[in-house]
Amino acid sequence: MKKIQSHFTEILLRWFEENGRDLPWRNTRDPYAIWLSEIILQQTRVVQGTDYWLRFMAKWPTVDDLAQASEDEVLRMWQGLGYYSRARNLHTAARQMVALGRFPDTIDDIKKLKGVGDYTAAAIGSIAFGLPAASVDGNFHRVLARYFGIDTPVNSTEGKKLFAALAQEHLPDEAPAAYNQAVMDFGATQCTPVSPKCVICPLAETCTARRMGKTTEWPVKLKTIKVQERRLTFYYVRSKGRIAIHKRGSGDIWQGLWTFPEGEHLQKSDKAKAKLIVKNFKHILTHRVLFTDFYTLDASKKPCLPSDFIWIDEKDINDYGIPRLIDLLIAEI
């Protein structure tokens, strides 16, 4: 039985037809290109993500190309986007698809790809294959909460079920891609987190938040994440035009990326010769604020460092995947 399109959905689709953003991955049905865009856009603004998507597609136009790249190459291309686990998952998933011999085309199979959850699987499935699945993200939460007047916290167990069911209820079976992208664009450009454009909103007359004056109060979200501060000290150890770096292991930030020696890696006598370049350099991550002291140490003889350190030509540092913080510190030299 065909689902009757709701007033909410009808207005949204009409708005999207006239106001939808022209994004490069919307000009293709290639599931690889769509999947790549969705992974890049996790925790990333569209403006920044678009440049990265174009670079990835230019360098690795097919999933086979990406699978054949090394993890270091992928991390280097990802530099500046943060959340580097996404890059590692991207690489792993590419190899999963090559092993499978095709791009998975059901929601359950798409979710088996490394780094793909409910939202991303629904987005890829609906856009690439026309699967009737609502891709519920922050835009959905905001638009639905305001329009229908929902004060259940979006990140509570009850809220997750409620919003998922409501989003699915209004999804038109014949246009799941347009519906998901319409809500995404509507939330990003019209029903924005701050200063939504209610005066020119096509849903204003029937919007509960507008009627009750609660636009700034919805959606409701439980505060569960505490931002932590962390202190770091890095040493730019240089000897005869070569510098020391090592790849960070698992269990800490920047897994798989390259950084400089820290205080515990050097002997006290070497640290005493180092020159302070910048103190309390502040760098903000999503759940951490990092304060870093940065030193240079020029040595005629290479200091004794742990066995996982390698020495590279100073000019070759950009050939290695490094965190954004390290890139900023290098600029201070």
Distance CA 171, CA 187 (A): 16
Query: Could you tell me if 263 and 280 are in contact, meaning their C-beta atoms sit under 8 angstroms apart?
Result: no
Instruction: List phi, psi (to 5°) of 230.
Output: -145, 140
User: Rounded to whole angstroms, what are the CA distances from 118 to 18, 125, 160, 164, 183?
Assistant: 28, 10, 11, 10, 16
Residue 302 belongs to what H/E stretch? none
Residue for token digits 């510190």?
329
Q: Do residues 131 and 107 lie in contact, with contact meaning Cβ atoms separated by under 8 Å?
A: yes
Q: Which amino acid is at 17?
A: E
Q: Is 280 helix (H, G, I), strand (E, B) or coil?
A: strand
Ramachandran class of 45: left when φ > 0, alpha when ψ lies in -120 to 50, beta otherwise: beta
Burial class (CB in 10 A: 0-12, 13-18, 19+), 314: middle
Give catalytic status of residue 264 as yes or no: no
45: tokens are 């603004």
Integer Rg of the chain from CA: 24
Among positive and negative, which fits the CA dihedral 115, 120, 121, 127?
negative
Total residue count of the chain as it appears in this document: 333
Options 10, 38, 158, 332, the catalytic residue: 38
Catalytic residue numbers, as ranges = 38
